[in-house]
Homo-oligomer: A and B are copies of this chain.
């Protein structure tokens, strides 16, 4: 009998996850479908973008947003609501203007990239040299560039999975350093974006390998078109630039954390969230008010149903845009805690179409009930195990922590990303609710699943 009991216990342990998970499909379906009428995610998105608006990393507005978040999260009934502060470098955008002075005088619309240097106070004027790719800039003779303003253009395609952002975004991330090292006095890039509006896309870049900071700016796409046409006429092109951007002293930023305590506090916890900071040009609606709103609304729905098995920690990361500082601080403080998995929403709020995983092979069967719960929302399991990641959570993921991901349709994301146009009107309330339903379904299964999703190998 003892032996039989042991066998039964072993069988029970082996099957625990699927059995338990499969015991919840009705509850999960109920919670998921109820979430399709969610109003909380909209309320959070509307209120954060209206009452705070832009909330640049390290700014006073981001500090107000943290306080706002604490009040809001406490009001919603979350436990252990707190701020974890850290310091970040602070770059001031200042003002930027540019004009073609020859051969066809006219002004251009642009915005500084993160960490851009200023021009001299009176501005600078120099001849323009154009490149149609980062490779062309990389291959160029420094003698042709020295003393000139570099212009790098390119084409970014709108894709469902945003897959062009990685490679095309390199123009922004490393183009300025390359131009500087070759002796350029400034660099203008075509915005890393897919729209055709006079709303340039800012974004982060660092001065690499000791590159001397120079003015680095993104032209709105119609202005990049214009500059291409002007260059094609074959006459020397002169540009006058004036930029007042500057690095300032460090400022406080922080993560806001809230929890839904689980029934078994000894089990590894679930972390979900998005980032609270935004670029300063828009009000950070799709990037990333909706991310914190969706994940918070889903966690709230789980909290208000039955107490979950595992603790769910909701993190509103700070200072994502300027270099994942919130994610790094979270890793530093919480890297030794046991995490069941992490998941981040930071790709707008259009319809979730794909579920991805980065879990152990042994945990793959446990993904099936999640996929099954998501399927009625039109979500497919896609990619290969190991593809799931996230922006802030990529920092802790390096330590070897499982990650799940729900991919939004990114077809129009890069029309808006990092532009003044990232405003509330761009959020579709119907698709937003589908997001909440997807996250609710995923949490309903996964936060109640005793199966380990790890270990997964550390990443670089």
Contact = CB atoms under 8 A, between A and B. Distances in A.
Contacts of A225: 423-425
A384 interface: no
Interface string A211-236: 00000000001100110011001000
Contacts of A54: 106-107
B198 A199 contact: yes
Given A104-B52, A199-B198, A222-B425, A109 B420 contact: yes
A281 to B, nearest CB: 8
A51 interface: yes
A53 B105 CA distance: 8
A50 B104 contact: yes
A74 to B, nearest CB: 20
A161 to B, nearest CB: 25
Contact of A229 (B50, B107, B109): B50
A226 B106 CA distance: 31
B226 A53 contact: yes
Contact of A423 (B105, B222, B282, B425): B222
B222 A53 contact: no
A425 B283 contact: no
Interface in A105-119: 105-107, 109
A230 B53 CA distance: 11
Contacts of A49: 226
A322 to B, nearest CB: 19
Interface string A186-199: 00000000001111
A222 B421 contact: yes
A103 B52 CA distance: 10
B51 A425 contact: no
A288 interface: no
A377 B424 CA distance: 40
A453 to B, nearest CB: 41
Contacts of A61: 105-106
A79 to B, nearest CB: 28
Interface residues of A, number: 34
A208 interface: no
Given A196-B426, A199-B199, A421-B198, A226 B109 contact: no
Contacts of A421: 196-198, 222
B104 A226 contact: no
A46 interface: yes
B196 A106 contact: no
A328 B5 CA distance: 101
Contacts of A233: 50-51
A170 B103 CA distance: 40
Interface in A31-74: 46, 49-54, 61
Nearest to A280: B107
Contacts of A221: 425
Contacts of A109: 420
Nearest to A198: B420
Nearest to A108: B53
Nearest to A64: B105
A264 B229 CA distance: 43
Nearest to A51: B104
A28 to B, nearest CB: 35
Contacts of A197: 197, 199, 421
Contacts of A419: 198
Contacts of A423: 196, 198, 222, 225-226
15 contacts: A46-B229, A50-B226, A50-B229, A50-B233, A51-B103, A53-B104, A106-B283, A109-B420, A196-B425, A196-B426, A197-B199, A198-B420, A222-B424, A226-B423, A229-B424
Interface of A: 46, 49-54, 61, 103-107, 109, 196-199, 221-222, 225-226, 229-230, 233, 282-283, 419-421, 423-426
**Closest 6 CB pairs between A and B?**
A53-B106, A198-B420, A222-B423, A50-B229, A196-B425, A51-B104
Given A222-B423, A226-B423, A226-B424, 9 more contacts: A46-B229, A49-B226, A50-B226, A51-B104, A51-B233, A53-B104, A53-B105, A197-B197, A225-B424
